[in-house]
Structure 1
Amino acid sequence: MTTPQDVAVADALPALFPTVRQRGRIAIFIRRHPTIVVGGAFLLALLLIAVFAPWLGTVDPTALAPARRTRPPSAQYWFGTDMLGRDVYSRVLFGTRVSLFVGFSVAILASTIGLLIGIIAGFVRPLDTILMRVMDGLMAIPGILLAIALMALTRGSVANVIIAISVSQIPQVARLVRSGVLTLREQPYVEAAIASGTRLPKILWLHVVPNALAPLAVQATFICAAAMITEATLSFLGAGTPPSIPSWGNIMAEGRAIWQVKPYIVFFPAIFLTITVLAVNMLGDGMRDALDPRLAKSI
């Protein structure tokens, strides 16, 4: 069919939906990595809750209303109120911001510093013994006790909580990266780069760091989950974020005195913390299975 010369023809509309081939690939990925999909979906939902918390029917999480204290869950107060009359629903949703921010910040900070220490220890023999003995000394102290000790030296704040938890997580990352670097250092392509006179920073950037990122990304997810639990523990013990900040640990700490008669004050933040840690761990498990060549399947 020919088009008249005086008639304009509009451009074809872009495809609004994935093609059949693309949908097939998505279905295959979902079938082979359900833990990544489920964990990622839960984590995405929690991120959306953290971002849009002010528009999800919440009120000021720090607003006091003594006349409405310890109200049970109802249509007006979905999660009830605490001993000071504050809305538990609003405090739990705003607490999502604190937990996710602490978890992601600790994962990034500990992974970055641990990556640098592990690479230096794996490639620079004279510094290997010194750095690893320091890491062994930090790992000999339980992480929660080390975090409490560091928080006792500073004032309570979110930044100090992030630093305290990161210090306890760095040795694990450093040892993981070092073990990988020791293996990569013996690979033929690395030895060829050294023999050709390539400078050490370029070798590390081109050959070592890319190969160390896959296991590091998996480890970072477990660090994120552990950091959120540690932050809640510190706040529950009174050594974490200030009581004025609505974090899940603070909410549970404030409700533990009357949890036998008003269990909802502890129940709701505990459920959110459990779901968040479960989602991050599922994402990490799925990434480990997907990135492990021994478990990979041909498409």
Structure 2
Amino acid sequence: MTAPLVVTRARRRRAFGSPSGYLSVALLLLFALTAVFGPMLVDKPRGLGADILQSPSAQHWFGTDDLGQDVFAQVIWGTRISMAVGVAASLIAIVIGTALGLLGAYVKRLDPFISTLVDVMLSLPLLPLMILVTALVGASATSLIVVIGLLSWAEVARLIRSNGMVVASMPYIDGAKVLGAGPLRIIGTELLPAVSPLIVVSVLLTAARAVISEAGLSFLGMGDPSSWSWGRILLNAQRSGVIATAWWQTLFPSLAILLLVLSATIAGIRYNDSRDPRTRGV
């Protein structure tokens, strides 16, 4: 058995050998399967139902809303949009943040401009800015993905830049320059693989924040009115004035948001800790 394979298996055991590790991954897989196959098994909630504001029961697991629609079906259908927006927006943020972070770490002439841009982005009030931009471009799932992704890359860029600068100062980078490797080749073949573990962690954490942003924007009426999301379920409960009485209409989508964000965050932290030699005994 080769040494890299042994190291990989050891890291996997450290990352997911604890209850928090494998439970977080199991929850993420459950959410992913629900997003893909759930709408195929559960009818889309629409129209008016006979059972209005019914509490959870064997017939309606998560109860019904003020229109008689099944809240369980709303949560299932909302899983697809919420996860799709979170994953797609995080990928946009990761691509932008990684590219700018690596350029700032290796190309010293660009570093002051990139650092200033990152500082400006981090100083902006993101939620009001997201509300403003979404209101200007129109409410839709696509606009939410683009807006959240374009406004969420700054933290990723700062993280990748700080770690990329450590790698860029290594002797083997100077050796690659001596052998004639150009900047793009060094960034693509040397710096990018070195920071790839941080990219994995950033995808999970950024996706978690994107899900929260999508839920917040949808709750404020900036989401796609033609599709279900967890934020839209909360918005409907607020508009109907049943938050204080029909507790189930807000409890279950809120729990879904909490569990998804918590599992993604714990999985990212455990994966990051598995690569830190100081936590090998944890």
Tell me the TM-score normalised to structure 2 length. 0.89
* Larger RCO: 1 or 2 (CA < 8 Å, sep 6+): 2
Q: Is the 8 A contact 1:35 1:285 kept in 2?
A: no
Deviations 1:125-170 (A, max 9, x none): 2222222212211111122222112212211111111111112211
| Conserved 8 A contact 2:14-2:280 | no
Which consecutive unaligned segments of at least 5 residues does structure 2 have?
A: 1-8
Q: Distance in 2 between matches of 1:52 and 1:31?
A: 25
1:60-75 equivalences under 5 Å are: 60-61=44-45, 63-65=46-48, 67-75=50-58
The alignment status of 1:180 with 2:196, answered yes or no, reads no
Q: CA deviation at 1:244?
A: 2.8
Q: Does 1:120 align with 2:109?
A: no
Structure 2 counterparts to residues 77-156 of structure 1, below 5 A:
77-156=60-139
Match of 1:15 in 2: none
Q: Are residues 1:242 and 2:224 paired?
A: yes
Name 1:6's counterpart in structure 2. Answer: none
Aligned-residue CA RMSD in angstroms? 2.2
1:267: which partner in 2? 251
| Cα distance change, pair 83–244 in 1 and its aligned pair in 2 (3 A) | farther
What is the alpha-carbon distance in structure 2 between the residues aligned to residue 187 and residue 150 of structure 1?
42
Structure 1 residues not aligned, in runs of 5+:
1-23
Kindly indicate whether the alpha-carbon contact (under 8 Å) linking 2:205 and 2:265 is maintained by their aligned counterparts in 1: yes
Name the % identity: 32
Deviation at 1:25, TM superposition (A): 7.8
Q: Distance in 1 between matches of 2:207 and 2:24?
A: 13
Paired with 1:258 and 1:183, the residues of 2 have a C-alpha distance of 54
1:280 pairs with 2:264: yes
Determine the C-alpha separation between the residues in 2 that align with 1:27 and 1:198: 33
Q: CA offsets per residue over residues 258-279 of structure 1, 9 Å max, x none? A: 1111111111111111111111
Structure of higher CA gyration radius:
1
Where does residue 5 of structure 2 map in the other structure?
none
Structure 1 residue 254 and structure 2 residue 239: aligned?
no
- Show structure 1 runs of 4+ deviating over 3 A: 24-34
**Structure-2 residue corresponding to 1:224:** 207
Residue from 10, 27, 36 that aligns with 1:51? 36
* Cα distance in 2 between the residues matched to 1:276 and 1:200: 39
How much does 1:197 deviate? 2.0
State the TM-score, normalizing by the size of structure 1.
0.84
Equivalent runs, 1:172-211 vs 2, <5 Å = 172-211=155-194
Aligned-residue offset at 1:26: 11
CA 1:175–1:107 in 2, change beyond 3 Å: closer, same or farther? same
CA distance in 2, matches of 1:200, 1:130: 18
- Report the CA distance between 1:294 and its aligned residue: 2.5
Q: Is the 8 A contact 1:33 1:286 kept in 2?
A: no
Q: Superposed, which structure 2 residues align to 1:160-175 within 5 Å?
A: 160-175=143-158
**Residue type of the partner of 2:110?**
L
How many correspondences in the alignment? 272
In the alignment, residue 212 of structure 2 is paired with which amino acid?
Answer: I
